[in-house]
A and B are shown apart, each in its own frame.
Chain A
Amino acid sequence: MSRIKDLQKNLFGGTTSNVRQFGMIFTLVAIVLLFEIWTGGLTLTSGNLIAVVSQYSYILILAIGMLMVIVAGHIDLSVGSVAAFTGIVVAKAMQEFSIPWPLGIALGLAVGAVIGAWQGFWVAYVGVPAFIVTLAGMLLFRGGNQYIGNADTVPVLDGFRTIGAGFLPEVGPDTGYNNLTLLLGLAACLGVVWREWKTRQTRRTMNADVAPMWITVLRLAVMLGVIVFATLRFASGRVGTSLPISGIILIVLVLGYSYYTRHTIGGRHIYAVGGNARAAELSGVKLKRVNFLVMMNMSVLAALAGMIFVARSSASGPQDGLSWELDAIAAVFIGGAAVSGGLGTISGSIVGGLVMALLNNGLQLEGVGSDMVQIIKGLVLLLAVAFDVYNKSQDRFSIIGSLMRPFSRGAPTAPAGEPRPAPDSDKARVAG
């Protein structure tokens, strides 16, 4: 096997074609480099990276939930409204009943869960298409936001603002860096090395192909390099700043949900349902339950995203959440999910979201107006998906094509065999 093929096969995740995802990561790197040069080095400054993470973490959190919804073959248009509704409920509750802010967060998540159960009920047990249920939800909860808030802007407590505008504290000796961020980076490095080693072990015990040593080392080098770079950048921001708390919440969610969707039965059921609902049901997947949980989960994440935005904005306002659903959906599709369901990864969506975020940020740094930014983002979304469709029709390079085949043979759990999930989630972790 030639070394190039080795690389392609092993470096960017798995033996199945991950070219699309590789393509997106490549695009992301290209965008970063392009803007880094164009803006004269502003893109990768600590201040800007910190700003980007805290600005887009809530969209990326939505993208996690949206990916699962889309993989299951649904769509959720109500996330922005649910976020705004939760935001105003929490802000009002804290203002009028002066409940402490941790309780406010719990209340917000509970509100999200109740809304999610409501939408999940209609989708899963009554069988109304998710498009309709969430379109109704979009109106319902937007109206609810205005009804409760009197279309007013309600400020929130300083403590609450931690989840959206907070940073890790400065502790320990003066190293010239934020020490806690350094520790997180170190933990990330160790985690990556440990998992790489563990993967090799597993493959060896299973008598599978073990990637050549040089590939492992190269991959580790790239990943560690990125992690070290990101860590030092985030740790060297203005005193009092660090990796934002919202970024940490995002990373935890990305790791958790990546594991869930890749390595647990419940997670694989989502893919099975989205690939072929009937086949999945016949093979014993509890269809209704999966649909219900996916929709409910989305609303809980939307509630969290709403609270993070409110915390960052220091107040809940009537314009919160407007067109968030579109940003989240765009991130998921740019990240390689299929419109028909059954395909897509959390890490892909995060990369897709980051492409949009960095594009937005870079254009804003260049002083490009919001009108042009929207035009460019629209074109990027169209081209990213068109690229995949084209490749599929040419019968090459298509992650969709290569993964759909097992489905059409009626083997719903087949795509579970993406054996090398590792590098992608790491990209997300670094970027997050």
Chain B
Amino acid sequence: MRKFLTRSLAVTGAVALLALSAACAGEREGATGAATGDSTSAAKGFAADALIGVALPSKTSENWVLAGDLFTDGLKQAGFKSDVQYAGASTTVADQQSQISAMVTKGAKVIVIGATDAAQLATQVTQAKQSGATVIAYDRLITNTPSVDYYIAFDNFKVGQLQGQALLDGMKAKKPNGPWTVELFSGSPDDNNSGVFFNGAMDVLKPLIDKGDLVVGSGQKDIKQTAIQGWKAENAQQRMDSLLTSTYNGNKTLDGVLSPNDTLARAIITSVKGAGKPIPVVTGQDSEAESVKSIVAGEQYSTINKDTRKLVAETVDMIKALQQGKTPEINDTKSYDNGVKVVPAYLLPPVIVTKANVAEAYANDPKLAPLTK
């Protein structure tokens, strides 16, 4: 028994020592973290081979997959270590939250975030900021937190305006004089951009609706009525099916549909075809391969070319500027209020694409160019 006792005491001592030494090795991180946590850290720059984290939504559209690949290549070429992550398909928000936390733990110096739900990342973004990282909101503005440093995107209000204008142009080409009957669609209500697109389009369309030149056939003009949850094709198709049954069952014609993106545009066209109606003028966005084919074939009227290559290249340039301790280039310091602060933004101009300029617009795109011939 005594032997056991002495032995066990030795073990106790050893374990306690181990635990203590392990713990003492970890100095409290706050001592240094607090000093670098404020905004001055950006001005100092960081190592040229630092880790850059990129957190993107789940792989639901071609654009995100392409963006991820471009980030991996672009950051590698610029000499950084990169960690590019997509959220899982079913648990998007929670996944993205833990991915951002993991990037902070790994000591990423810049974290680029394409948010799944722009309002649910405040905790992680603040955590990133406090660890001294710079946070760049990519394509979607992160809301309700003061910890977002920059926002980079295509000018989405402009996208909406272009869509509205394209809708009008397309309908005028088919039927020179109004009034025209239209239906409105908007994106997912949890995506901050949906409202921006819609407001941009309404900026062009509203005066005509007020004048009576444009008639919304179903009367559904409010963004709550026009929203398509999750940007899902099936939801858009369902809504269009119902609209056709409720409003266009007689010989009432539908001249145009405002669609916020290509996936929804194709779903809308499928629905109209299914009902045996002539295809109206349908707008789009994203330059998805299927929609480019559709435009060439004369079905979908327009899309928007937001060249992901350019956006990623600009983001990488921004990161390079931060690395050198410079302030990155900004061209908008007042439009993007996230509810807590106005986030400095760099906006790229979008380009409208119709059948008329489709070949020219995608001439430099290795994937889309062959489709336009």
> Chain A: residues with CB nearer than 8 A to chain B?
39, 42, 45-48, 51, 55, 146, 150-153, 155, 161, 164-165, 176-177, 212-215, 217-218, 220-222, 224-226, 228-229, 232-233, 236-241, 309, 312-315, 317-320, 322-324, 327, 360-361, 364-365, 367, 369-371, 373-374
How long is the Cα–Cα vector from A327 to B90 in the complex, in angstroms? Answer: 12
Q: How far is the CB of A305 from chain B (nearest CB, A)?
A: 11
A165 → B minimal CB distance (Å): 4
Across-interface contacts of A364 in B (CB, < 8 A): 85, 98-99, 102
Instruction: Report the separation of the CA atoms of residues A81 and B175 in the bound assembly, to the nearest whole angstrom.
Output: 49
Q: Which B residues are in CB contact (< 8 Å) with A233?
A: 23, 26
- A155 to B340: give the CA distance in the assembly, Å: 12
Q: Mark B230-241, 1 if CB is under 8 A from A, else 0.
A: 100000000000
Q: Given A47-B131, A214-B7, A314-B144 in contact, is the A367-B83 Cβ separation under 8 Å?
A: yes
Listed by A's residue number, 25 A-B pairs whose Cβ atoms lie within 8 Å are: A48-B102, A51-B101, A153-B117, A153-B118, A153-B119, A176-B27, A213-B4, A214-B5, A217-B8, A217-B11, A224-B15, A239-B34, A312-B97, A313-B122, A314-B121, A314-B145, A318-B189, A318-B190, A318-B230, A365-B102, A367-B84, A369-B85, A369-B86, A370-B88, A370-B95
Chain B residues near A371: list those with CB within 8 A: 86, 88
Closest 9 CB pairs of A and B: A239-B30, A232-B23, A214-B4, A313-B120, A217-B8, A225-B15, A314-B122, A370-B88, A221-B12
Count chain B residues whose beta carbon lies closer than 8 angstroms to a beta carbon of A.
68
Give the residues in chain A near B26, CB-CB below 8 Å: 45-46, 232-233, 236
Chain B, Cβ-Cβ closest to A374:
B88
> Which chain A residues lie closer than 8 Å to B91 at the CB level?
322-324, 327
Contacts of B31 in A (CB 8 A): 239
Q: Is B312 an interface residue (CB 8 A)?
A: no
User: In the assembled complex, which residues on chain A have CB atoms less than 8 Å from the CB atom of B92?
Assistant: 319, 322
* Interfacial chain B residues near A237, Cβ < 8 Å: 28-30
**Across-interface contacts of A164 in B (CB, < 8 A):** 123
Pick from A220, A224, A238, A318: contact of B30, CB below 8 A: A238
Determine whether B16 belongs to the interface, using a CB cutoff of 8 Å to chain A. yes
Tell me the bound Cα distance from A152 to B145 in angstroms: 18
The answer to whether A51 touches B127 (Cβ under 8 A) is yes
Task: List the count of A-B residue pairs having beta carbons below 8 Å apart.
Answer: 195
User: Are B20 and A228 interface neighbours, CB within 8 A?
Assistant: yes
The listed residue (A152, A220, A309, A313) touching B121 by CB distance below 8 A is A313
Among A151, A213, A239, A319, the residue within 8 A (CB) of B8 is A213
Q: Is the CB of A238 within 8 A of B88?
A: no
The CA of A371 and the CA of B24, in the complex, are separated in Å by: 38
Contacts of A161 in B (CB 8 A): 123
Known: A146-B229, A317-B190. A155 touches B117 (CB 8 A): no
Q: Closest residue of chain B to A152, judged by CB? A: B189
In-complex Cβ contact of B86 among A46, A151, A222, A370 (8 A): A370
Q: Which residues of the other chain, A, contact B1 by a CB distance below 8 angstroms?
A: 212-213
The reply to whether A47 and B105 contact each other, CB–CB distance below 8 Å, is yes
B67 part of interface (Cβ distance < 8 Å)? no
Could you tell me which residues of chain B, from 126 to 165, have a CB within 8 Å of some CB in chain A?
127, 130-131, 143-145
